[in-house]
Amino acid sequence: MFHRLLLLAIFGIAMAHVEGAVVVYLRRALGILDADLKGAAVQEIPRRYLLIEKTREVATILMLLTLALLVGETWPERIVIFF
């Protein structure tokens, strides 16, 4: 059990890093500085890119849900794995 949880933790850390890196690259590519996050720069993001970002977030949630359903043996365990 410990071995499986350790592997899930490693997966979670790696996936969180990839997600964070994608956000940094997207902000840089779109010219959004950290200081502009609450400003007009966010309002200027083309709708196409917002749609792509939304679908990326949905895909991430689906990957986590799939992993939880495949690995978890009980519903409480699946919920913990998902989060």
The string of DSSP codes covering 31-78 is T--GGGTTSHHHHTS-HHHHHHHHHHHHHHHHHHHHHHHHH-SSHHHH
Q: Count Cβ neighbours within 10 Å for each residue of 11-37 and write b for 16 or more, e otherwise.
A: eeeeeeeeeeeeeeeebeeeebeeeee
pLDDT at 34: 67
- What domain range is 75 assigned to? 2-82
Which has the higher per-residue pLDDT, 52 or 61?
61
pLDDT at 30: 78
> Looking at the 3D structure of the chain, how many domains does it have?
1
Q: Quick one: average pLDDT of 47-64? A: 89
Q: What is the pLDDT of residues 17-49, one digit of tens each?
A: 998 898 888 888 877 766 655 656 667 778 888
